[in-house]
Structures are given as C-alpha cells and as structure tokens.
A = this chain, B = another copy of it.
Amino acid sequence: MSAVKIFGHQNPDTDTITSAIVAADIESRLGRDAKAFRLGEINAETKYALEYFGAASPEALGTLDAGDPVILIDHNEFQQSADNIEKAEILKVFDHHRIANFHTESPLYYRAEPVGCTATILNKVYKENGLEITKEMAGLMLSAIISDTLLFKSPTTTEEDIDAASELKEVAGVDLEAYGIDMLKAGASTRDKSAEELITGDAKSFDMGVKTTRIAQINVVDVDEVFERREEIEAAINNQIETDGYDLFVLVVTDILKSDSKVLSLGKESGAVEKAFDVALDDNTAVLEGVVSRKKQVVPNITKALS
C-alpha cells in the first residue's frame, strides 16, 4: 500500500493544517506510512503557528488516484475535500462537524465528536494509544484549539476543549492568553488581501435542500476595515454567484474581540438571513449579536430558514 495521504478541507484554516500534521505524527508513530498534505494556501494565522513551533508546512496535495488510501481531517463533506475524493479509499476520518454528502463503499474508522476542534479529539487519541506528546505537536494542537474556539469565545467551545488546551499549554510551554491573542491577530489583518482572497480564504459550500449556499468567514479586529471595501467585495461575490451557481452567498465578518459578526448576504436567497436570525437586512447587511460560529450558529440557522 502506498503512503496514506492525510489532509483537511479546502481553504485550510489552522485546525485543518495542524491536525493533519498531528494525525500524520500519530499514524507514523503507530508504524504506518503516512504523510500530511494541504488543499490550499496556508493563511497568515496558520503560518504564525507553524513558525512559532518550528513545524514545516505540509506539501500541496497532487491529484488523487483511484484507490489511494487517505485520512480526512476536520471535514467529511466531499465538496469540501480533494478532487477525486469519491475514488479514494477513505481509511479514517477525524472530524467535529455534521456529517453530510459523505459515503464509503467499505467500513472505516470514523471518529467525530461534538467538540470545538479536531485537535481536542487527537489529544485523546494520543492518550488512548499511550503515545507521549512532543512540545511541537502540543503547540500545534493548542494553536488549533485557540483558532477554532476564538480563544474559547465561540459557542462551539466545550469543557473538553478548555481542558485539552490547559494540558497542552504546559507541554507547549506558552502563555495561553498572550500566545492566543498574538496568533489570532496575525491572521486578522485584511489590508494585504484582495477582495477575491477575502471571500475565498475561509469559505465552504453547503447543500441545503435544493439550494447551494456558500458561507465565507473573515476574522478581524476591525469590521469597518472590510466594509469600507464593500463595493469591490460585492462585485467579487456576485461574480462567484454567477460562475458557481450559488443560490445564496453569505460573507460573515467576525469581530474576534467583541465576539459578534456583521454579514453581507447576496444571491437570490439573500433574504434567508432575515428568517434565519430574525433580523432586518439593511442594504443586504446585518449585525448578528453574539454570532461567531459558522458551524454552530450560521449553518444550522440558514439550513432551517431554507428548508
């Protein structure tokens, strides 16, 4: 069997990249030939984490061949995965999302838990297998938890995430709060990004009944920095709606310090956001108080509104 390819979702974030590296460490130490890959460019936040803990960025995944053994990290929906994923042999999944548009021909190892971060599950897997966690791997898992939970402010945060981070910061040897703010800020600047980059950097597609929805999220420390560029961004979104046939495109701009979000909702189903969050759109925008999680707040509410 060729080496198992381990990778997270498209438009990779910190959890998806670092958990792929960590899962490859676990598999390798259990004696399996395994290697981490990425499905897109490393973002500024992830780059900060990798450099801080001296970890190399995974290589970009090439084309998958039929029957290639793979392990999916931090996702399962095929439209968020590698091209040709239907033809690969999925050996394992480590994830913390809903399950949809996923199927296999054979039994597999599937480990999902409703926690805030894939790394929280991997931290358990080390222990279940009696493997010691290195400083580097602890730092990567800690970075993933901080990123996915926005330093425990996201409603996706569970006691298990907090406990895992508390253990891991000791092994990683960092001040959790100080390191966390620095890492989040490293990823929060939008000035050096094109409108195209902003709406694709952390974007996922969802089949919601008969409708296809695209939800992009940007974490910032200054929401106005994004909305000053409204015209340029709206043009880029409308372009994607036309090219890719989305019924709804929601851009979620999340203030990581205030823990709320301002959304821009476009496409012929743009009104779904009003029903989903009981708000009135003003020129296609609305502030969603306390909303910071795409998975726990945005996706379920819009799914219901569209059904």
Binding site for B on A (CB under 8 A): 96-114, 128, 295-296, 300, 303-304
Contact = CB atoms under 8 A, between A and B. Distances in A.
B109 A113 contact: yes
A-B pairs with the 8 shortest C-beta distances?
A110-B112, A107-B114, A100-B103, A98-B104, A109-B113, A110-B110, A99-B104, A98-B107
A197 to B, nearest CB: 28
A102 B105 contact: no
Given A99-B99, A128-B128, A300 B112 contact: no
Contacts of A103: 98-102
A136 B107 CA distance: 28
Quickly give the copy total for this chain: 2
Nearest to A98: B104
Contact of A106 (B98, B105, B113): B98
A25 B282 CA distance: 53
A100 B86 CA distance: 12
A112 B114 contact: no
A114 B105 contact: no
A303 B106 CA distance: 10
A113 B107 CA distance: 7
Given A99-B108, A107-B114, 19 more contacts: A97-B107, A98-B104, A98-B105, A99-B99, A99-B102, A99-B103, A99-B104, A99-B110, A102-B102, A102-B103, A105-B304, A106-B300, A107-B112, A107-B113, A107-B295, A108-B112, A108-B114, A109-B114, A110-B111
A109 B300 CA distance: 17
A109 B112 contact: yes
Nearest to A91: B114
Nearest to A114: B107
Contact of A108 (B98, B105, B106, B128): B98
A168 to B, nearest CB: 19
A132 B114 CA distance: 25
A109 B115 CA distance: 9
B105 A303 contact: yes
A101 B102 CA distance: 8
B111 A111 contact: yes
A97 B109 CA distance: 9
A300 B105 contact: yes
A18 to B, nearest CB: 19
B107 A100 contact: no
Contacts of A107: 96-98, 112-114, 295-296
Nearest to A128: B128
A280 to B, nearest CB: 25
Contacts of A128: 128
